[in-house]
């Protein structure tokens, strides 16, 4: 299963321009089991120098990077939570995503209309935030009403859930996103099933222009999306010749980090070197389940080496000979950069 990022933002912020640039690179779809194929869903490979280096030393028949799914979500405008614009339709699409990428307009262009008339990134961020919060409040209230109706008996678990929802609703009412409300790990787990929009990690990308740029807070992720689209057809050597580089990789990696994902690799055979995506803190059997659903149950042990050690050894057999492989059991927590051979 892959992770998905929903691109939101006000009309003409540059969502579709970003989506088009990101999804231009062709990828071998057959390697990934996907559920959704539609024009506004695209698969993007994660840039990974480590995999390239592993592939160089192992020289497998095939090298397969990990991917993230991007969804171009149209229709977010002021009042969307009440059904304005495409309203509820787009909100349902965001619910399906693991993270939200907010494209924020920071370019001035008289010919490109702005629904709020002026360029003001902070205001636009606030508009999007309020829409998501309002939708979450509606969800919290709806769920609470349902629970109250169903619970004729005074079920302890239900009372607990209702209190939690009350806490959530209060925080939302104060203008806080769920990620800004202080919740225990148990409470976060308790609300998972409701897929609240503001409980998802959110990344802001400021779409700037190179001339007359709008001033942006230092440290923000800024990119000229129109320019990105223009250069997205060029090859790497062509870009080099022009003295330009793409900033799309930064955006992709920011999403990957916001999702708290790590990468592990399989490269013990000659057939394939492959990168896999895993939630930080996962155990070795959970990593195995990414490869095959059976692996988690059938897991016995695994041989693990850190990627740079494998590079140093040159290949799997040599690493084994040198005694650099570590045998681990089912409690082993996978570390970013591990290369794993599962024993089932």
Ligand X SMILES: Nc1nc2c(ncn2[C@@H]2O[C@H](COP(=O)(O)OP(=O)(O)O)[C@@H](O)[C@H]2O)c(=O)[nH]1
Binding site for Mg ion (CB under 5 A): 15-16
Rule CB under 6 A: is residue 78 a binding residue for ligand X? Answer: no
For ligand X, what does the binding mask look like between residues 199 and 218, x meaning CB under 6 A? Answer: --------x-x---------
CB under 8 Å to 274, separation ≥6 — which residues?
51, 63, 64, 65, 265, 266, 267
**Residue with smaller CB distance to ligand X, 18 or 304:** 18
User: What radius of gyration, in Å, describes the C-alpha atoms of the chain?
Assistant: 23
282 binds ligand X (CB under 6 A): no
225 binds, among ligand X, Mg ion, none (CB under 5 to 8 A by kind): ligand X
The single residue among 5, 43, 127, 225 that binds ligand X, judged by CB under 6 A, is 225
The tokens for 270 are 């000659």
Instruction: State the Cα–Cα distance between residues 169 and 19, nearest whole angstrom.
Output: 33
Residue 119 is a binding residue for ligand X (CB under 6 A):
no
Element (H, E) at 202: strand 202-208
Which listed residue (57, 112, 216, 328) binds ligand X by CB under 6 A? 112
Which residues lie closer than 8 Å to 91 by C-beta, 6 or more apart? 80, 81, 135, 197
Tell which one of 15, 161, 204, 290 touches ligand X (CB under 6 A). 15
Contact pick of 17, 199, 268, 283 for ligand X (by CB under 6 A):
17
Please tell me whether residue 66 adopts helix, strand or coil conformation. Answer: coil
Please report whether residue 11 would count as binding ligand X according to CB under 6 A.
yes
Q: Which is nearer to Mg ion, 90 or 316 (CB)?
A: 90
Q: Where are the beta strands (DSSP E) in 73-125?
A: 99-106
Stretch of residues binding ligand X (CB under 6 A), selected from 15-23, 238-246, 275-283, 315-323: 15-23
Nearer to ligand X, 198 or 207 (CB): 207
Rounded to whole angstroms, how far apart are CA atoms 150 and 342? 46
From candidates 78, 95, 226, 279, binder to ligand X by CB under 6 A: 226
For residue 249, count other CB atoms closer than 10 A to its CB: 11
What residue number has its CB nearest to Mg ion?
Answer: 16
């Amino acid at each position: 299963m892959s992770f998905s990022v929903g691109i939101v933002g006000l009309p003409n912020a540059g969502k579709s321009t970003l989506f088009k640039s990101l999804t231009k690179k062709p990828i071998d779809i057959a390697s990934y089991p996907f559920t959704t194929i539609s024009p506004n869903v695209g698969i993007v490979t994660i840039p990974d120098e480590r995999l390239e280096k592993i592939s160089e030393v192992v020289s497998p028949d095939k090298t397969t990077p990990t991917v993230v799914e991007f969804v171009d979500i149209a229709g977010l405008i002021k009042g969307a939570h009440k059904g304005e614009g495409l309203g509820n339709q787009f909100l349902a699409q965001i619910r399906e995503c693991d993270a939200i990428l907010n494209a924020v307009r920071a370019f001035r262009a008289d010919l490109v209309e702005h629904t709020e008339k002026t360029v003001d990134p902070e205001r636009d961020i606030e508009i999007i935030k309020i829409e998501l919060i309002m939708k979450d409040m509606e969800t919290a209230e709806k769920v609470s009403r349902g629970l109250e109706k169903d619970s004729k008996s005074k079920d302890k678990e239900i009372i607990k859930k209702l209190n939690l929802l009350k806490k959530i609703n209060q925080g939302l009412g104060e203008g806080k996103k769920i990620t800004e409300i202080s919740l225990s790990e148990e409470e976060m787990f308790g609300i998972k099933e409701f897929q609240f929009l503001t409980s998802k990690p959110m990344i802001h990308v400021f779409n700037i222009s190179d001339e007359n740029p709008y001033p942006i807070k230092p440290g923000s992720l800024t990119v000229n999306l129109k320019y990105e689209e223009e250069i997205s057809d060029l090859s790497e050597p062509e870009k080099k010749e022009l003295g330009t580089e793409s900033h799309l990789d930064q955006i992709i990696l920011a999403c990957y980090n916001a999702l708290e994902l790590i990468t592990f690799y399989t490269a013990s055979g000659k057939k394939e070197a492959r990168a896999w995506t895993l939630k930080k803190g996962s155990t070795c059997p959970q990593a195995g389940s990414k490869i095959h659903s059976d692996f988690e149950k059938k897991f016995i042990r695994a041989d693990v080496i850190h990627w740079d050690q494998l590079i140093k050894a040159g290949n799997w057999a040599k690493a084994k000979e040198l005694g650099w492989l570590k045998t681990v059991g089912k409690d082993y927590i996978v570390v970013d950069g591990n290369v794993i051979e599962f024993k089932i």
